[in-house]
Amino acid sequence: MSSVSAKPSTTITTGRRRGRHREVPYHSVLGQMVTVREDGRERRVTAAEAFLLQLTRKGLMGDSAAARASLAAIEAARAGRAEHAAPTIMRVVFVGFGIGCILRTLGLAVKRYPLDEQRVHWLLEPGIVQAALDRFGVRRLSPDEQREVWKVTRAPEKVQWPEWWSERG
């Protein structure tokens, strides 16, 4: 004799579709940007910030309930910030104002022999030389100018020199 037992369904229905969040969608409402006018000037803030500004304004005008709610919101924000505050790592990069700092930062040139006062000089990167040559159009450089450009290019073999270029090395 075989016995068949039916298992009861253990599926729990929560009333929401699959993939939907359980939390109330505060961000979709309070995250919207609104325009606030203060002292004749307009600025864009989130709806949450505008709500707190209005509560604060009403509290300053004498509405004690608004003042209490505003203070409670400020305290809640401070408490939340203190709990989740991780040490912030900030990287500050100082860039000098000389042309060398700009050339190096933008990757346009490399300083050769920076510690040797006799031999120190700048070499242009091949990419910037190529970009300059591509923009020349019908204009040509004299042989002296060609030698100078060749001499100050870091890797002249990487540049596609135009057909009219006569000086190499």
Report pLDDT digits (tens) over 32-85.
888 888 878 888 888 888 888 887 888 888 888 877 887 887 788 777 666 665
Do 77 and 103 belong to one domain? no
Query: Between the CA atoms of 155, 157, 162 and 164, what dihedral angle is there, to the nearest 10 degrees?
Result: 100
Do 105 and 64 belong to one domain? no
Query: Which candidate, 72, 47, 48, 46, places its Cα nearest to that of 59?
Result: 72
Report residue 12's pLDDT band, with 50, 70 and 90 as the boundaries: low
Where is average pLDDT lowest: 95-104, 138-147, 151-160?
95-104
Do 152 and 122 belong to one domain? yes
Do 105 and 134 belong to one domain? yes
Long-range contacts of 120-127 (CB under 8 A, 24+ apart): 121/152, 122/152, 123/152, 123/153, 123/154, 124/149, 124/152, 124/153, 124/154, 125/154, 126/153, 126/154, 126/155, 126/156, 126/158, 126/159
Q: Which amino acid is at 164?
A: W
Q: Is residue 38 situated within a structural domain?
A: yes
Do 132 and 106 belong to one domain? yes
Q: Is residue 19 situated within a structural domain?
A: no
Do 117 and 146 belong to one domain? yes
Total tally of structural domains belonging to the chain: 2
C-alpha span between 153 and 110 (Å, rounded): 10
Do 150 and 103 belong to one domain? yes
Do 106 and 77 belong to one domain? no
Enter the tokens of residue 63: 């509405």
Task: Kindly tell me the number of DSSP H helices and DSSP E strands found in the chain.
Answer: 6, 4
Q: Is residue 7 situated within a structural domain?
A: no
| Global pTM value | 0.43
Q: Is residue 168 situated within a structural domain?
A: no
Report pLDDT digits (tens) over 130-153.
999 999 888 999 999 999 999 999
Q: Is residue 12 situated within a structural domain?
A: no
Q: Is residue 147 situated within a structural domain?
A: yes
Do 123 and 147 belong to one domain? yes
Do 124 and 148 belong to one domain? yes
The residue with greater pLDDT, 131 or 14, is: 131
* Residue range(s) defining the domain that contains residue 41: 30-84
Q: Is residue 123 situated within a structural domain?
A: yes
